[in-house]
Structure 1
Amino acid sequence: MNVPRILSSALLMSALVLPSLAHAWWSGDFKHRTKVVLNTSAQGMETKEALSGVVVPVRLHSGNFDFIGAKPDGADLRVIAADDKTPLKYWVERFDGTNELAVVWVQLPNTLPGTDKNTVYVYAGNEAAVAEPINAALFDGAMAAAIPFSGQNGEPVADATSALQSSGPLAREATGLIGPSGKLDGQAVSWSSDKLKAAANAPYSISLWFKPEAVTGTLIAQGPLSLKLDAGKPSVTVGSTTATGGELPTGAWAHLALTVGNGKLTLYVNGAQAAQTDLPAAGAPIEGALQLGQGITGLVDQLEVATTVRSADWLKLAHAAQSADAKLVATSTETPDSVAHAEGGGEVGHFAILVNNLTVDAWVVIAILGVMFVIAAWVMYDKAVLVGRADKDNRKFLSGFRDARDVMTVSSQGMKHSQLARLYEAGLRELTKRDVGKTGSTPLSGASIDAVKAAIDADLIRESQTLNSKIVLLTIAISGGPFLGLLGTVVGVMITFAAIAAAGDVNVNAIAPGIAAALLATVAGLAVAIPALFGYNYLAARIKNISSDMGIFVDEFVTRVAETYGAR
Structure 2
Amino acid sequence: MPSLLFPPLLASLNIWQVFLITDHVGQVVIGLLAIFSIFAWALMMGKYSELKKLRQLNFAFERKLAEERHILDLPENLKNRRDIPYADLLADALEAYWRAAAIGKEKGDDTPRSRLEHAENAIQRALARQSLRYEASMIILASLVSGAPFMGLFGTVWGIMEAFGAIAEQGSATLATLAPGVSAALLTTISGLVVAIPSVFGYNILLGNVKTMITELENYASTLADRIELEAK
Range of TM-score over shorter length: 0.7 to 0.9
Pair 1:500–1:353, CA change in 2 (3 A)? farther
What residue in structure 1 maps to residue 27 of structure 2?
A: 363
1:432 aligns with 2:89: no
Which residue of the partner structure matches residue 377 of structure 1? 41
**Aligned-residue offset at 1:510:** 4.9
Structure 2 letter corresponding to 1:500 = I
Partner of 1:450: 117
Please tell me whether residue 497 in structure 1 is matched to residue 164 in structure 2: yes
Tell me if structure 1 keeps the 8 A contact 2:21–2:179.
no
- 1:41 aligns with none
CA shift, 1:362, in A, is 0.8
Q: Is the 8 A contact 2:27 2:184 kept in 1?
A: no
Match of 1:412 among 78, 93, 99: 78
Asked which structure has the greater CA Rg, the reply is 1
CA contact (8 A) 1:443 1:565 kept: no
Residues 406-450 of structure 1 show CA distances to partners (whole Å, capped at 9, x for unaligned) of 1232653896542101111111211232459xxxxx984334312
How far apart are residue 523 of structure 1 and its match? Answer: 1.1
* Structure 2: runs of 5+ lacking an equivalent: 1-9, 103-108
The one-letter code sitting in structure 1 at the alignment partner of 2:86 is: L
How many Å apart are 1:357 and its aligned residue? 1.6
* Kept after mapping to 2: 8 A contact 1:365/1:488: yes
Between 1 and 2, higher relative CO (CA 8 Å, sep ≥ 6) is seen in 2
Given the superposition, is the C-alpha separation of residues 378 and 416 from structure 1 closer, same or farther in structure 2, using an over 3 Å criterion? farther
* 2:207 matches 1:540: yes
The structure with the largest strand share of the pair is 1
Partner of 2:128: 461
Aligned counterparts, 1:153-168, within 5 A:
none
**Counterparts of 1:532 and 1:470, CA distance in 2:** 13
Question: Superposition pairs for residues 220-299 of structure 1, below 5 Å?
Answer: none
Match of 1:471 among 133, 138, 150: 138
Structure 1 residues 565 and 458: CA distance shift in structure 2, 3 A: same
Spell out, residue by residue over 1:531-557, the C-alpha distance to the aligned partner (whole angstroms, 9 max, x if none).
221221121111112211211111111
Any conservation in 1 of the 2:116–2:229 contact (CA below 8 Å)? yes
TM-score for the superposition, normalised by structure 1: 0.35
Rounded to whole Å, the distance in 2 between the matches of 1:401 and 1:353 is 61
Q: Distance in 2 between matches of 1:360 and 1:431?
A: 64
Preserved contact between residue 97 and residue 115 of structure 2 (Cα < 8 Å): no
Q: 1:444 to 1:414 in 2, by over 3 A?
A: closer
Q: What is the CA deviation profile of residues 119-141 of structure 1, one whole-angstrom value per residue up to 9, with x for unaligned ones?
A: xxxxxxxxxxxxxxxxxxxxxxx
Give the C-alpha shift of residue 394 in structure 1.
0.4
Instruction: List runs of 5+ in structure 1 lacking aligned partners.
Output: 1-345, 437-441
Map residues 180-219 of structure 1 onto 2, 5 A cutoff: none
RMSD, aligned CA: 2.6
Check 1:370–1:413 CA distance in 2 against 1; reply closer, same or farther (3 A cut).
Answer: farther
Other structure's SS at 2:65 match: helix
Identical columns (%): 26
Q: 1:515 aligns with which of 175, 179, 182?
A: 182
Q: Deviations over 1:234-288 (max 9, x none)?
A: xxxxxxxxxxxxxxxxxxxxxxxxxxxxxxxxxxxxxxxxxxxxxxxxxxxxxxx
Q: Are the counterparts in 1 of residues 80 and 88 from structure 2 also a CA contact under 8 Å?
A: no
Give the AA of the match of 2:90: Y
**Aligned mates of 2:91, 2:115 — CA distance in 1:** 17
Tell me what 1:389 maps to. 53
The structural deviation recorded for 1:385 is: 2.2
Q: Secondary structure at the residue paired with 2:88?
A: helix
Q: Write the distance in 2 (CA, Å) between the matches of 1:561 and 1:474.
A: 39
> 1:489 touches 1:522 (CA, 8 Å); kept in 2?
yes
Specify the alignment match of 1:199 in structure 2.
none
- Selected match of 2:17 from 345, 353, 365: 353
Return closer, same or farther for 1:357/1:387 CA change in 2, 3 Å cut-off.
same
Task: Rate the CA distance shift 1:417–1:545 in 2: closer, same or farther, 3 A.
Answer: farther
> Structure 2 CA distance, aligned partners of 1:493 and 1:353?
19
